[in-house]
């Protein structure tokens, strides 16, 4: 399959010439080393690119204390939430879930007017 001949676009040749002229400048900008100078301020950087600063022992311990406290509080909340639930009826706890589902569906049919159809 051959491509049809297109009429020349007027600004195409000078745009191509400008792009070729700027090519070397862009390549030089991309090729220069990407590492910043040591005395140059970095500005914002994502966490994974920031230089690591080791934490002191006291900072580490304080962080672990906070974490432990947070986890203990969550555990207490979970425990209290489980205690506050109303006790379930014995009938609801016995038997498997599928049987309960079937019984529920049958009861819905029984109490609906489906049999009138």
DSSP string, 41-105: ---S--GGGSPP-PPPHHHHHHHHHHHHHHHHHHHHHHHHHHHHSPPPPHHHHSS-HHHHHHHHH
* Domain total of the chain: 1
Question: Which tens digits make up the pLDDT trace of 45-94?
Answer: 888 888 888 999 999 999 999 999 999 999 999 988 887 776 666 555 55
Domain span holding position 81:
58-85
For residue 72, being part of any structural domain is answered with yes
For residue 66, being part of any structural domain is answered with yes
Give the CA-trace dihedral at 36, 41, 43, 49, to 10 degrees. 40
pLDDT over 70 percentage in the chain: 66
pLDDT surpassing 60 at residue 15: yes
For residue 65, being part of any structural domain is answered with yes
- Residue among 54, 53, 51 at smallest CA distance from 35: 51
Residue with the larger pLDDT of the pair 9 and 43: 43
For residue 32, being part of any structural domain is answered with no
For residue 68, being part of any structural domain is answered with yes
Q: How far is CA 91 from CA 19, 52, 85, 96, in A?
A: 80, 59, 17, 11
For residue 78, being part of any structural domain is answered with yes
Question: Which tens digits make up the pLDDT trace of 50-59?
Answer: 888 899 999 9
For residue 107, being part of any structural domain is answered with no
pLDDT surpassing 70 at residue 39: no
For residue 13, being part of any structural domain is answered with no
């Amino acid at each position: 399959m051959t491509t049809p001949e297109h009429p020349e676009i007027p600004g195409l040749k000078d745009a191509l010439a400008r792009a070729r002229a700027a090519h070397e400048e862009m390549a030089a900008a991309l090729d220069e080393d990407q590492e910043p100078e040591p005395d140059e301020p970095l500005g914002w950087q994502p966490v994974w690119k920031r230089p690591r600063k080791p934490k002191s022992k006291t900072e580490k311990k304080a962080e672990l204390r906070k974490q432990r406290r947070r986890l203990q509080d969550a555990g207490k909340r979970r425990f209290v939430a489980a205690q506050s639930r109303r006790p379930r009826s014995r009938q609801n706890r016995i038997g498997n879930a599928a049987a309960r589902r079937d019984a529920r569906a049958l009861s819905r049919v029984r109490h609906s007017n489906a049999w009138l159809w």
